[in-house]
Amino acid sequence: MNTQHEAVILVSCPDQLGLVAHLAAALHKAGCNILDAAQYTDTLTNVFIQRIHISCERSIDSKTLQKHLTPIADEFEMKINIRWTDKTKRVAIFVSKEDHCLHDLLLLHRDGDLHCSIDLVISNHDDLADVAERFCIPYHHIPVPNSGDPEVEQQQTAILEDNNIDLLVLARYMRIFSDTFTKKYAGKIINIHHSFLPAFAGGKPYHQAFEKGVKLVGATAHYATTELDEGPIIEQGVIRVSHKDSVKEMIRKGRDIERTVLARAVRWHLEDRIIVHNNRAIVFS
């Protein structure tokens, strides 16, 4: 029987000398082995950020770790989050009519490439119900006459809470949440925008790109916030286009990028590789 388990510890605090040494010493005293560690200092705000991957005996829990880390957290004004890797995050996917991102996520999950439980799909249309059915995932069709409709969001929230959902993935969900909903799930909503933000935010970005005659189109995965398409950017990708490409062809090329960009962002979130600081997503490889 495996007596070891693993955790990821995310740390942020004002930068100063000795932080890495103090953290390593505290974890050693707690009986933890550091498997991997990466850090970054934002020199503009003088903030130190670190991701530490540890292993330890199963007798060591969050309370034990906090006991050893609290003294240095108090001394250095640290924010510390402990995430156990054997705790499976529960995911809900929101879609409209486009199926390419949904298919990609479901296939990756089926093949064991996403460490999570995809518990349900929510859509404002019933077009993709058969896709969810093929993967044996509950599909909730909730029409959305207007973005941010409070009655609709109450239905959605009830479903999410009943299923203890940890992450919402907007896989080409063509509706906008209210500020109330977005704030409730702050840091837990990943959206794929079919454009290389901040260029061509809002609707029909490929049409905007075509009109401008751009030579590159792309996709951006970001955390959704109350400001439309302004949330912290997690991942981006681009592909070259030319004057020969129609809007339809640009959309086709863009879909390939959307799939890979969204999958990377979701995987990194599930692996606790992201810390948001100053509206920037710090992503540790």
3-state secondary structure of 231: coil
**HSE, side-chain direction, 13 A CA sphere, residue 226:** 5
Separation CA 26–CA 153 (nearest Å):
44
List 119, 229, 245, 272, catalytic entry: 229
Separation CA 227–CA 150 (nearest Å):
18
Sign of the Cα pseudo-torsion (202, 208, 213, 215, in order): positive
Residues 6+ apart with CB under 8 A from 179: 226
Kindly list the distances between the CA atom of residue 120 and the CA atoms of 91, 127, 132, 148, 187, in Å, as whole numbers in the listed order. Answer: 7, 15, 8, 20, 19
Separation CA 274–CA 4 (nearest Å):
24
Burial grade of 61 (CB within 10 A; 0-12, 13-18, 19 or more): middle
Strand partners, 56: 5
229 is catalytic: yes
How many residues are present in the chain?
285
Would you give the end-to-end CA distance of the chain in angstroms?
Answer: 30
Q: Which residues of 101-117 are buried (b: 16+ CB within 10 A; e: fewer)?
A: bbbbbbebbeeeebebb
Question: Any idea which residues carry the catalytic annotation?
Answer: 229
